[in-house]
Amino acid sequence: MSDAEHHEYRCMNCGAILKATPETIVAICEYCGAPNVISGILSEEDLYLVPSVGKGKVLDEFWRRVNTDIDLKSIASKIRPVSIDGSYIPFWLSRVKLDGEIIYRKREYDGKHVRVKRVKKSFSRAIWVDIVARRQVKHLGLRELVKRYLDENPESIKLSEMPIDRWREIKLPILNLEFDRAEAEASIRDHSIDLVRREWEGKVSDIIFFSAEVKSMTKPNLIFLPLWTISYRYGGGLYFAQHDGWSGRPLVFAEPIRAFRRIIYTLGMVFSTILGGLSGYVFLHEATSLGIFILLASLSLGYFFGKRFVSDVRVERE
């Protein structure tokens, strides 16, 4: 450690020397368990977090999932957790209201005929927009974590109001933030427009014109959400599961794909290839909407099974 990086911090509660690196924003005292805010970016008033359950509860939920899952329960005795780690991930969250206009083409099937209509609509939309307050976060499952947080709305508390006893139990590291509130506001603004556009892309197929603008947004709030990662061994492979920290339930669960599933995926690929060939024939000879339908259906089936076939890990999002 260079001199510039070295700075001695002492615990506000008991005076013990704290372990802190330039990355640390909150150091948890090894002696008394008190959290100490170190970073200059934050004031304690800004630090809200959702209390986490402990390791034991997360492991219980892991085994509950393993023992109730159709595929996993038969191999439960061969599953070995090798590590379990949790940390607090910082998110900026803002409620954004947008107005906009969209023009798209809509196809209507009327027996054998396809009619194309031009539809113009104005819309207003209010959405939650989040950004992870870090430039590089390797974790999977962050989207799922925020989504569940917004759905379930678990209680969040100020770090300064967290009883020290709870910290002694949990002691999760708190990841530093790399975006301040002003940066967060700018990127939430941009991101909200992309999100609304993507919502429309999911609903309509042929967008000719799209515009949206932010009418209002709340000041981004910083919230630290607990995320746990369990890695486990099965056979020769290493897999992982991620759990939210407030309920301990799995969010994302990577499962080994077992032999019988591979057979199902192979059959699926073969079936959709045959269907594709058949519809190609029908399509060439008679360009009906049925032909188009079968062609599209078989292409998407082939894609679905093909994508699963190449991977030996199946990721389930709860």
Beta bridge partners of 254: 315
Least Å from the CB of residue 16 to Zn ion: 5
Q: Length of the chain, please?
A: 318
In which residue are the tokens 């009418």 written? 215
Smaller CB distance to Zn ion: residue 30 or 201?
30
Least Å from the CB of residue 18 to Zn ion: 8
Least Å from the CB of residue 167 to Zn ion: 10
Rg (CA), the chain: 25
Least Å from the CB of residue 162 to Zn ion: 14
Least Å from the CB of residue 20 to Zn ion: 13
Smaller CB distance to Zn ion: residue 104 or 167?
167
Least Å from the CB of residue 146 to Zn ion: 32
Closest CA relative to residue 240, chosen from 109, 116, 58: 58
**SS3 call for 181:** helix
Beta bridge partners of 88: 174, 226
Smaller CB distance to Zn ion: residue 13 or 156?
13
Q: Which tokens belong to 226?
A: 């607990």
Q: What amino acid is encoded at 83 in this protein?
A: S
Q: Which tokens belong to 7?
A: 């700075």
Least Å from the CB of residue 44 to Zn ion: 16
Sequence-separated (6 or more) residues with CB below 8 Å from residue 222: 42, 46, 47, 48, 90, 91, 92, 133, 177, 181
Smaller CB distance to Zn ion: residue 35 or 90?
35
Smaller CB distance to Zn ion: residue 12 or 82?
12
125, with CB counted inside 10 A (0-12, 13-18, 19+), is: middle
Smaller CB distance to Zn ion: residue 167 or 228?
167
Smaller CB distance to Zn ion: residue 31 or 63?
31
Separation CA 201–CA 297 (nearest Å): 19
Q: Which tokens belong to 161?
A: 């109001």
Smaller CB distance to Zn ion: residue 47 or 133?
47
Closest CA relative to residue 196, chosen from 117, 128, 104: 128
Smaller CB distance to Zn ion: residue 7 or 203?
7
Least Å from the CB of residue 12 to Zn ion: 8
User: Where on the chain is the footprint of Zn ion (CB under 5 A)?
Assistant: 11, 13-14, 16, 29, 31-32, 34
Least Å from the CB of residue 166 to Zn ion: 15
Q: What dihedral do alpha carbons 230, 231, 232, 237 form, nearest 10°?
A: 160
Three-state secondary structure of 222-241: EEEEEEEEEEEEECCEEEEE
